[in-house]
Amino acid sequence: MANANQNFYELYRSTSIGQTLADTLDELISSRRIEPQLAMRVMQNFDQNIAAVLGEKVKSRLNFKGHLDTYRFCDEVWTFIIKDVTFKMVDTGQQERADRVKIVACQSKDKPEK
């Protein structure tokens, strides 16, 4: 998933903020207001900035428990399917429940990447 040049994961493009950015760029490309290469550069900027903001600006912590239904480890990427999950926010004490959660995790930047 990581871009060799930028060394940032494209993982977060699947989030809502990433998808909305991609949709907006698609509209601009369709209307010929920007070039596709420029859109790619914007997405790379997004990859970099979201990782930076999440790493520096966010301080909250999370605990969760559940039943592991499926696990996969391939190309340094873990994929889990968890059933009957209970989330607990350490800061606020708020709890959430979900029947099925999919977790996709790339290797942390603290560890050297291939």
Partner 1 sequence: MSNLLVGDVYGKIIEAVIRDSKTEFEENGVSTATLSDLEKEWKHKLSQKDVAHMSWDPKPVPPQPVQQVPIPAQSLPSVATNHAQPSYSTYHQQPQPNGATRIKVENGPEQQYHGLPNSYPQSMPDGQGGQVRAAQLAQQYAQARGIAGGLALPGQRPQSMQPQNQTQHQAQQMYMHQQRQQQAALQQQQAQPRIKVENESPQLHQGGFQQHPRPPNPAYAQTDGADEGLEEWQAYIANRRATTAEQTERADHMMRDAVLQNSASLESGLMMTLDELPKGARSKKRQGKARAADKSVVAAGPSIPQLDGDYDEDEKPIKDEDDVDAINSDLDSEEDPTGDLDEDDDDFGDSILCTYDKVQRVKNKWKCVLKDGVMSINKKEWVFHKGTGEFEW
- The reply to whether 29 sits near partner 1 by the rule CB under 8 A is no
40 three-state secondary structure = helix
CB 109, min distance to partner 1, A: 7
Question: Quick one: 3 or 55, whose CB is closer to partner 1?
Answer: 55
Residues 6+ apart with CB under 8 A from 74: none
- The reply to whether 34 sits near partner 1 by the rule CB under 8 A is yes
Q: Which of 4, 30, 61, 75 binds partner 1 (CB under 8 A)?
A: 61
Site string for partner 1, 71-110 (x = CB under 8 A): xxx----xxxxx--x-x-xxxx-x-x-x-xxxxxxxxxxx
- The reply to whether 53 sits near partner 1 by the rule CB under 8 A is yes
User: What angle do the packed helices 36-56 and 16-30 form, to 10 degrees?
Assistant: 160
Separation between Cα atoms, residue 22 and residue 34, nearest integer Å: 13
CB 3, min distance to partner 1, A: 15
81 three-state secondary structure = strand
- The reply to whether 27 sits near partner 1 by the rule CB under 8 A is yes
Torsion angle defined by CA atoms of residues 40, 46, 48 and 52, in that order, rounded to the nearest 10 degrees: 180
CB 106, min distance to partner 1, A: 5
